[in-house]
Amino acid sequence: MTTANADPFAKFKAAQRDAWAVFAPAAIFNTIAAAKLVKFAQVAPGQRVLDVGCGTGVVAVTAARRGAKVTGLDLSPDLLERARKNASTAAVDVDFTEGDAEALPYPDASFDVVLSQFGHMFAPRPVVAAQEMLRVLKTGGRVAFSTWPPELFTGRQFSFVASYLPPPPPGAEQPPPPGLWGEPTVIRERLGKFVNNLQFERDVTIIPALSPQHFREAQEKTIGPLTKIIDSLQNDPAKLAQLRAEYEAMISEIFEDNSVHLHFLMARAVKA
């Protein structure tokens, strides 16, 4: 039964929830980037902090270890299970909740800081996600997030993976590429007049890997959409070999000294 308030992207979100369940083993490589985001956001003890698209909780736990009162939200119950274990191991208290970045289950002006590390960018309606993050943020509070610029490796990876997906049904509404959240001009448009003092900073996270092939194998096991494509090509060895060769060529461009160098963008603003 369809209602006027039905989410047009409900199936898309369900697919995302399932696809990203395999990501947990790779989250360790985002821990240094998490510390950089928390520092960039100027998280302080006692502040109420929300981590949107928290995944395994690397940002949430990092903020909690600074003394903040942290809440984490994610679509994936599997990733939240790992997040709770991470918080327990670190001996910090974080309130993790399964939920949707486009419909945050919190009252207006609930948080001093709203964060997202490579999370909110996957919400299919960017303006809705941005509005929700700002809605739950107090006036004068800070919103800060990390994203992947579209012209760099991970942003290009989104387009690469999409090129191997089957075409959408005719007339189906398609979400914009997540890499657009890595464009400062787009960020300015999406946050608009609702924020002041918008600032950007670029950084890099370095992932150890013995070879481009080793990194490609790890990505195939932990990047949900890529995992599904690999599974779908098991009966088409020629196309599978083509995908892997193209992907390894991309990886080779950022591979140096037995490591992959992934550049990202951080943005921070104050709610007007």
- Identify the band that residue 3 occupies on the pLDDT scale cut at 50, 70 and 90: very low
The string of pLDDT tens digits covering residues 184-235 is 999 999 998 999 999 999 999 999 999 999 999 999 999 888 999 999 999 9
Q: At 251, which amino acid appears?
A: I
The string of pLDDT tens digits covering residues 24-33 is 888 888 999 9
| DSSP H or E run through 17 | helix 10-19
**What is the number of other CB atoms lying within 10 angstroms of the CB of residue 93?**
10
Mean pLDDT of the 115-124 span:
96
Q: At 241, which amino acid appears?
A: A
**Burial of 269 per CB tally in 10 Å (0-12, 13-18, 19+):** buried
Domains of the chain, with CATH numbers?
Answer: 10-206+262-271 (3.40.50.150)
Using the predicted structure, report yes or no on whether residue 50 has a pLDDT greater than 80.
Answer: yes
Q: Pairing state of beta strands 48-52 and 137-147?
A: unpaired
Return the structure tokens found at 132.
């929700």
**Residue of 176, 192, 183 lying closest to 143 (CA atoms):** 192
What is the full DSSP assignment across 198-230?
EEEEEEEEEEE-SSHHHHHHHHHHH-HHHHHHH
Cα three-residue angle 226-10-144, rounded to 5 degrees: 70
Give the whole-angstrom CA distance, residue 34 versus residue 117: 7
